[in-house]
Chain A
């Protein structure tokens, strides 16, 4: 039972454009949602989070949007930079973290 899903395994974006990564969840009891960036053979690094009572949180180039009625969240990166190329995981929290499958973002110069 995959409670957190990232349906796009990969995304390719041109440098300077917007990257939009999507995530869907099934459990309405999740209270926080987080995005992590991960390089191969390394642990995830925290990017940005959002409480379930909010619908938007912004931190520099990163903005997370939460649509509770649709059980959907998205991460917007603008402008995208080549250094953003990595695997991005969304995670939902209810005491413990449940991760999505990840989306590999490639930002081309």
Chain B
């Protein structure tokens, strides 16, 4: 069965960096696009980043462009989100999501909480 397990969340100071990881299993990872979506405490969903199955295309939300980088390792079935210059507005649960077709997320991880605070 499909599983997505995020890790790497935690407490980080403003201006700091963090790398999130998402371990995928149960499907042919190298053939699917992957995304990160976040949700601030008590708030709605915010799409963060997309990476094509072969990593040739990457797109970002305006709010994270230039600070966050999405990348993947198809040999390890992993997708990552490198986050730099973090601010309090980046505090959220970060979900990894698998796309089964363009823009449609059929599986989600349980999320990892990132808290940016001094």
* Chain A bound to chain B: no
